[in-house]
Structure 1
Amino acid sequence: HGRGVMRYKDGTMYEGEWDNGIYSGHGKYTTKTAEYVGMWSRGVKAGHGKQMTSDGRLYDGWFEAGKKSGAGTQKNSKTGTSYSGQWKNNLPFGKGIWRWTNGDWMEGTWNSNQASGKGKTLRHFGNGALYEGETQDGKFTGRGKITYKDGGVYRGPCFNGMRHGAGSYKSSDGMLYEGTW
């Protein structure tokens, strides 16, 4: 019981609270490739914590059984991307927003690191276009609406990120095209 420090031969170190010789409570765990500061239970990450890895990822959120689970935000300083939302087993799972450095962002329901579902997914592109609709495996698949920067609007089915099937396109000057893509 109490606080203490353990240094291992490989350079790994734990500094924090202990319970019967096991990491428990608040502590800091450092390896050659990562650092975690947060809560522990029975020797595993559990509760709120921050984890930084040598590849530029910083996660600030909740852990369960040693894995990212619950609400959290992960930013990558090397790529500039970020995800904020729900996690399960170290992957985005549930409602969340993914942002890219070019200004694109995608809001929706995530399943194993991919936007997926019949619920509404919003994808804003840095070029000004906006997609609203269904997704599957991270691609626009199902009914959707694409609003282009110039004001033109496509309504209809999409498949693998492309317009596909019977739909309509209304240009910004009011011209309507109905047909098959």
Structure 2
Amino acid sequence: MKIVEDDESFKEKSYSNGGVYIGKFKGKLFHGIGKYTWSNGTIYEGDWVDGKRTGKGLMIWPSGIKYECEFLTKLNDDVYVGKFNRKLFHDNKKYKWSNRTIYEGDWVDGAMTGKGVMIWPSGTKYEGEFYESYLHGRGTLTRENSCVYTGDWRMDANRGIGQVVHLGSV
């Protein structure tokens, strides 16, 4: 997708954070086709709806890496970046919930399935296997300033063989 910057319906706006948007607006919100360039040089070209990346687009990082993707931003500000299969998340991509929980990893038919990383707002981090959106298989859960459990998981519970290491002073 290439933005035609000389289109008369496009406007350019610079922001105090160093970002620049060239594209269509609905009121003060990005809406329609547009290109946003962050101050670090990262670029998104594609569809916008009510100020949010939604639909097909192209991400370009300063390193030159390009990724054609689809964004789905829900009304509650949850964001999914990746590919869809029958309107379900299906790929190895990232989802950010409005409560700031982040998952990056494999999706199959709308469920976190395969390898991934989940980080909660508390700083707790799980890295390992998921099945139908459960912590399920082999994985490591790190609770910030507390302990690390590495072992087997079944339906969100640590089950089977594992090891706990307590962090900090005892």
> Which bin holds the TM-score, normalised by the shorter protein?
0.5 to 0.7
Q: Which residue of 2 aligns with 1:125?
A: 120
Normalised to the residue count of structure 1, the TM-score between the two structures is: 0.57
C-alpha separation between the residues in 2 aligned to 1:133 and 1:112? 19
Matched, 1:104 2:101: yes
CA RMSD between the two structures: 2.8
Structure 1 residue 170: Cα displacement = 0.4
Q: Number of aligned pairs?
A: 119
Q: Which residue of 2 aligns with 1:71?
A: 69
Structure 1 residue 58: Cα displacement = 6.5
Normalised to the residue count of structure 2, the TM-score between the two structures is: 0.60
The CA deviation string for residues 99-158 of structure 1, in whole angstroms up to 9 with x for no partner, is: 0122110011101110102xx310001111000000100111000000111141100011
Q: Which residue of 2 aligns with 1:156?
A: 151
Counterpart of 2:158, as a letter, is: R
Q: Which has the larger radius of gyration?
A: 1
Matched, 1:173 2:150: no
Q: Which residue of 1 aligns with 2:25?
A: none
Structure with the largest fraction of strand: 1
C-alpha separation between the residues in 2 aligned to 1:87 and 1:50? 16
C-alpha separation between the residues in 1 aligned to 2:145 and 2:169? 12
Which segments of 5 or more consecutive residues in structure 2 lack a partner in the other structure? 1-31, 34-44, 58-67
Q: Which residue of 1 aligns with 2:15?
A: none
Structure 1 residue 92: Cα displacement = 1.0
The one of 135, 139, 146 aligned to 1:144: 139
C-alpha separation between the residues in 2 aligned to 1:174 and 1:144? 24
Q: How does 1:17-32 map to 2 (within 5 A)?
A: none
C-alpha separation between the residues in 2 aligned to 1:160 and 1:58? 33
Runs of 4+ in 1 over 6 A off after TM superposition: none
Q: Which residue of 1 aligns with 2:56?
A: 61
Determine if contact 1:71/1:87 at 8 Å carries over to the other structure: no
SS at match of 2:106: strand
